[in-house]
Structure 1
Amino acid sequence: MKIMNILQIHNLKPQFPCTFRTVPHHSLSGSLNFSLRKSTRLSSSSFLLLLVTPIRPTFKIFTVSRIEAPFFENNKEDEEEEEDEERNSATNLTEFEDLAPDGVVYQNTLRLVECSMFAAVTGLVYFLSNSLSIENYFGCFFSLPIVISSLRWGVAGGRKTMVATAMLLFVLSGPVKALTYLLTHGLVGFTMGSLWRMGANWGLSIFLCTIARATGAVGYVLTSSFLIRENILALITINIHASLTFIFAAAGINTVPSMNFIYSLFGILVVLNSGFFVFLLHLLYSVFLTRLGMKDSLRLPRWLEKAL
Structure 2
Amino acid sequence: MNNTLLKIQHPPLHFRISHSTVSRLPPSIHLFPKLSFQSSSLSFSRTAQCFKFSSLSKIKPSVYCDDEEETEGPRKGSVEFEDLAPNGDVFRKTLRLVECSMFAAVTGLVYFLSNSLSIENYFGCFFSLPIVISSIRWGVACGRKQLVATVMLLFVLSGPVKAINYLLTHGILGFTMGALWRLGANWSVSICLCTIARSMGAMGYVFTTSFLIRENILALITINIHASLSYVFAAIGINVVPSMNFIYSLFGILVLLNSASFVFLLHLLYSVFLTRMGMKASLRLPRWLEKAI
TM-score (norm 2): 0.75
Q: Find the partner of 1:139 among 112, 124, 129.
A: 124
Alpha-carbon distance in structure 2 between the residues aligned to 1:290 and 1:83: 52
**Aligned residue for 1:251?**
236
Instruction: Measure how far apart 1:156 and its partner are.
Output: 1.2
Tell me if 1:130 matches 2:115: yes
**Aligned residue for 1:303?**
288
Alpha-carbon distance in structure 1 between the residues aligned to 2:177 and 2:164: 19
**Aligned residue for 1:50?**
none
Instruction: Measure how far apart 1:93 and its partner are.
Output: 3.7
Tell me if 1:120 matches 2:125: no
**Aligned residue for 1:170?**
155
Instruction: Measure how far apart 1:88 and its partner are.
Output: 5.9
Instruction: Measure how far apart 1:84 and its partner are.
Output: 5.0
Instruction: Measure how far apart 1:249 and its partner are.
Output: 1.2
Instruction: Measure how far apart 1:255 and its partner are.
Output: 1.1
Tell me if 1:242 matches 2:227: yes
Identical counterparts, % of pairs: 79
Tell me if 1:208 matches 2:193: yes
Alpha-carbon distance in structure 2 between the residues aligned to 1:181 and 1:205: 21
Alpha-carbon distance in structure 1 between the residues aligned to 2:283 and 2:101: 23
Q: Find the partner of 2:165 among 148, 156, 180.
A: 180
Alpha-carbon distance in structure 2 between the residues aligned to 1:232 and 1:145: 31
Say what the alpha-carbon RMSD is for the aligned residues: 2.0
Q: How far does the alpha carbon of each residue in 1:161-216 deviate from its partner, in whole angstroms, 9 at most, with x for none?
A: 11111111111000100110010001111111111111111000000000000000
Instruction: Measure how far apart 1:112 and its partner are.
Output: 0.4
Aligned residues: 231
Gaps of 5+ in 2: 1-54, 56-65
Alpha-carbon distance in structure 2 between the residues aligned to 1:247 and 1:210: 29
Tell me if 1:231 matches 2:216: yes
Alpha-carbon distance in structure 2 between the residues aligned to 1:169 and 1:90: 47
**Aligned residue for 1:99?**
84
Q: How far does the alpha carbon of each residue in 1:52-77 deviate from its partner, in whole angstroms, 9 at most, with x for none?
A: xxxxxxxxxxxxxxxxxxxxxx9xxx
Instruction: Measure how far apart 1:128 and its partner are.
Output: 0.6
Question: Any residues of structure 2 matched to 1:1-308 within 5 Å, and which?
Answer: 91-308=76-293
